[in-house]
């Protein structure tokens, strides 16, 4: 944050009373801190916190001052007048802060800031300085009346002119400095944004280029250099159509020129030659950059590899439909697969078995061996289920230790008991994790479809209920739902 001050402290503000001068400097420090936060557009809670700190410290300082004045002046009218000035300071600052027609909290605090700098400078130079001279005169042996006369004389004439000059200078200084601070902060933010944008372009996997108005390359990111197999220095000064010959081919060249001229951009597929001589599709976003008067100054283009885009899309689709741990289909893909299996079974007059599988003793593995060991067990169970099922079947993990199997293309009366018994046996085999052997079993609930009222969700729900019956029957077994065999 900037160290610029809208209220620089100088020797003209010294009263000669050490504790008061120290507290004045702290007030000035808080005012400068508030100014910096306003310039940086800090959030309202932060600004209000600093303002409250300033207000509370001002109260503490006023109490300190009044004790010092009272010790020498007693209940003299000068002290009472000084107390009234202190009280009016807090009231005026709060009133200015709360009265903000623009409803901009920063604007309200800017108005407060202007008041604070003027009030404090005047109060120190005139009121506090006058009181300090009276105290110092009394301490030098003068009577109260003599001290007042002495102080009035010291504060008149050239001193009065000096005070007026300093106040005008500080009023102007505070306003201009705050404007300067805002401008510097805005420039810092702009430079930070430009630096970030530059880093994004530099690190982007997309190939980005910039040309002048004649489409002569003036810059390109590392990905573009790699695409063209030229260094950055070798790229500069070449025509973009020379670097990417496909842009010069008819009718693509005419199509791009029409888009850039009439619309200001062109987006489409470009077939570029690879180093092996093959052609590979790339996606190009080509845009015109214009000045304020509408004349073309630059062109910007972004090449994206179509194969990379396809791979990314496939990766996103896989992540959306598969369990990250086991790679098995998740609930979303399971519902779709089951819907397709039911439609196919109806058309071919076949059956579908939905097996809801929950592991027995899995919690113990997590609790005794760690969650990492539990993950290893889930992966091993998934692999064993894959080995025991057919290509037409689907295995899904719903989460935790719950799996669902879709056994499709079953002939009416097909006996799946042997498969279920085999699954129970395979799952129950010991599993070695981190040099230790552990074991889980499975409870399986089975629902057979399709029936007239069967939906994917209803079949899974029936299989789930049957699985709980298997748990209650002693675990490591299977039970069929009511519509099953």
pLDDT at position 469 over 90: yes
* φ/ψ (deg, to 5) at 459: -65, -45
Q: Which domain holds residue 237?
A: 207-309
Number of Cβ within 10 Å of residue 46's Cβ equals: 11
Average pLDDT, the chain: 86
Q: Look at residues 31, 57, 34, 30 and name the one whose alpha carbon lies nearest to residue 44.
A: 34
Q: Is the same domain home to 346 and 283?
A: no
What pLDDT sits at residue 241? 93
| pLDDT tens per residue across span 232-253 | 999 999 999 999 998 988 899 9
Residue 294 inside a domain? The answer is: yes
Q: Is the same domain home to 291 and 383?
A: no
CA dist 354 and 356 (Å) reads: 7
Q: Is the same domain home to 167 and 237?
A: no
What pLDDT sits at residue 485? 45
CB 238 within 8 A of CB 217: yes
Domain at 257, CATH number: 3.30.450.20
| pLDDT tens per residue across span 170-221 | 777 777 777 777 787 788 777 877 777 778 778 777 889 999 999 999 999 9
| pLDDT tens per residue across span 270-307 | 887 766 666 778 889 999 999 989 999 999 999 887 66
pLDDT at position 92 over 90: no
pLDDT at position 264 over 80: yes
CA dist 161 and 178 (Å) reads: 26
DSSP 245: G
Residue 448 inside a domain? The answer is: yes
Q: Is the same domain home to 179 and 112?
A: yes
pLDDT at position 1 over 60: no
pLDDT at position 39 over 50: yes
Q: Which of 256, 278, 309 is the last residue of a domain?
A: 309
Domain at 66, CATH number: 1.20.120.50
Confidence of residue 484 (pLDDT cuts 50, 70, 90): very low
Residue 441 inside a domain? The answer is: yes
What pLDDT sits at residue 323? 92
Residue 382 inside a domain? The answer is: yes
Q: Is the same domain home to 173 and 25?
A: yes
Least confident piece of the model among 124-138, 229-243, 301-315: 301-315
Q: What is the percentage of the chain residues whose pLDDT exceeds 70?
A: 93
Q: Is the same domain home to 300 and 383?
A: no
> Side-chain half-sphere of 427: how many Cα atoms within 13 Å?
29
| pLDDT tens per residue across span 145-179 | 888 888 888 887 767 777 777 778 777 777 777 77
Residue 125 inside a domain? The answer is: yes
pLDDT at position 7 over 90: no
pLDDT at position 375 over 80: yes
What pLDDT sits at residue 358? 96
- In Å, how far are 101, 322, 406 from 403, measured between CA atoms? 63, 13, 10
Q: Is the same domain home to 52 and 97?
A: yes
What pLDDT sits at residue 312? 66
Q: Is the same domain home to 366 and 469?
A: yes
Name the CA radius of gyration of the chain, rounded.
Answer: 41
| pLDDT tens per residue across span 13-35 | 888 899 998 999 998 888 888 88
Residue 199 inside a domain? The answer is: no
Domain at 472, CATH number: 3.30.70.270
Q: Which of 129, 162, 194 is the last residue of a domain?
A: 194
Q: Is the same domain home to 190 and 211?
A: no
Residue 46 inside a domain? The answer is: yes
Q: Which of 194, 216, 239 is the last residue of a domain?
A: 194
Four-CA torsion 153, 156, 162, 163, nearest 10 degrees:
100
Record the tokens describing residue 379, joined without a space: 């992966």
pLDDT at position 382 over 80: yes
What is the number of domains present in the chain? 3
SS3 label, residue 284: strand
Q: Is the same domain home to 164 and 123?
A: yes
Q: What's the whole-number mean pLDDT along residues 413-433?
A: 89
Q: Is the same domain home to 190 and 257?
A: no
Q: What is the percentage of the chain residues whose pLDDT exceeds 90?
A: 38
Residue 167 inside a domain? The answer is: yes
- In Å, how far are 35, 116, 300, 387 from 89, measured between CA atoms? 18, 9, 58, 83
| pLDDT tens per residue across span 435-446 | 888 999 999 999
CA dist 100 and 42 (Å) reads: 18
Contacts 24+ apart (CB under 8 A), 151-155: 155/126, 155/129, 155/130
Confidence of residue 100 (pLDDT cuts 50, 70, 90): low
Q: Is the same domain home to 188 and 240?
A: no
């Amino acid at each position: 944050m900037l160290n610029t001050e809208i209220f620089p402290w100088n020797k003209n503000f010294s009263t000669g009373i050490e504790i008061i001068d120290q507290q004045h400097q702290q007030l000035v420090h808080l005012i400068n801190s508030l100014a910096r936060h306003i310039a940086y557009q800090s959030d309202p809670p932060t600004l209000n916190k600093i303002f409250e700190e300033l207000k509370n410290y001002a109260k503490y300082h006023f109490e300190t001052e009044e004790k010092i004045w009272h010790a020498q002046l007693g209940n003299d009218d000068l002290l009472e007048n000084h107390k009234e000035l202190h009280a009016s300071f807090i009231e005026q600052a709060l009133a200015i802060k709360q009265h903000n027609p623009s409803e901009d909290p920063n604007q309200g605090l800017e108005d407060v800031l202007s008041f604070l700098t003027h009030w404090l400078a005047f109060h120190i130079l005139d009121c506090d300085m006058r009181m300090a001279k009276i105290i110092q005169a009394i301490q030098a042996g003068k009577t109260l009346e003599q001290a007042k006369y002495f102080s009035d004389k010291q504060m008149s004439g050239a001193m009065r002119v000096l005070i007026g000059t300093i106040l005008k200078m500080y009023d102007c200084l505070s306003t201009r400095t705050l404007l300067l601070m805002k401008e510097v902060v805005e420039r810092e933010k702009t430079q930070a944004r430009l630096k970030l944008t530059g880093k994004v372009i530099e690190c982007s996997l997309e190939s980005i280029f910039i040309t002048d108005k004649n489409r002569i390359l003036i810059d390109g990111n590392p990905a573009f250099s790699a695409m063209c197999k030229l260094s950055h220095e070798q790229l500069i000064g070449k025509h973009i159509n020379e670097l990417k010959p496909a842009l010069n081919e008819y009718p693509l060249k005419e199509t791009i020129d029409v888009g850039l001229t009439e619309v200001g951009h062109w987006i489409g597929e470009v077939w570029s030659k690879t180093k092996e001589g093959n052609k590979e599709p790339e996606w190009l976003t080509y845009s015109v950059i214009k000045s304020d008067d509408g004349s073309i100054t630059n062109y910007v283009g972004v090449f994206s590899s179509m194969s990379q885009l396809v791979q990314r899309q496939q990766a996103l689709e896989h992540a959306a439909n598969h369990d990250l741990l086991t790679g098995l289909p998740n609930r979303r893909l399971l519902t779709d697969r089951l819907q397709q299996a039911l439609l196919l079974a109806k058309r071919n007059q076949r059956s579908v078995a939905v097996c809801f599988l929950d592991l027995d003793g899995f919690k113990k593995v997590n609790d005794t061996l760690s969650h990492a060991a539990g993950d290893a067990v889930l992966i091993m169970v998934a692999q064993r289920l894959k080995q025991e099922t057919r290509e037409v079947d689907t295995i899904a993990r719903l989460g935790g230790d719950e799996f669902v199997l879709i056994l499709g293309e079953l002939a009416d009366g097909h006996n799946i008991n042997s498969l279920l018994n085999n699954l129970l046996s395979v799952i129950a085999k010991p599993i070695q994790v981190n040099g230790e052997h552990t074991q889980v079993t499975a409870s399986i609930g089975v629902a057979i479809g399709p029936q007239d009222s069967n939906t994917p969700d209803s079949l899974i729900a029936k299989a789930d209920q049957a699985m709980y019956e298997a748990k209650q029957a002693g675990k490591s077994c299977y039970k069929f739902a009511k519509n099953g065999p």
